[in-house]
Amino acid sequence: METQKVKTCFTITFTDDQYNHAKSYVQDMKIHPKRVFWQGKEGKSEEELVVEQIAHRILSGFYNNDAFQAAKHIVRMDSMTTG
C-alpha cells in the first residue's frame, strides 16, 4: 500500500480553560524529559508546545462530545497534496 502526504493547516479556536489545561500539561511534561511527548519537539517555544497540545486534543476528539463540537473549534482547514 502506497502512502501519501497531505499538508493541512487548521484555524482553531479555544477557551482560556483549554489553554490553561494545555499549559499545565506542558509544564508537567518538563518534569519528564524522556517521555514520547518530547520526540520531534526540540527547539520549540513553550507557546508552540501549548498550542500544539490544544490542537492535538481538538483534532483527536478530546473536546468533542458530539458530532458538531469539532466544528465549533475548527474554523478553517486548508489542505494540499505534497510530493
pLDDT value of position 36: 86
pLDDT band at residue 26 under the 50/70/90 scheme: very high
- The reply to whether the predicted model has a pTM over 0.85 is no
**Grid coordinates standing for 58?**
481538538
The predicted model gives 57-63 an average pLDDT of 75
pLDDT band at residue 82 under the 50/70/90 scheme: low
pLDDT value of position 69: 64
CA angle 77, 14, 9 (to 5 degrees): 20
Domain span holding position 15: 5-82
When divided into structural domains, the chain yields a total of 1
Q: Is the model's pLDDT at 77 over the cut of 80?
A: no
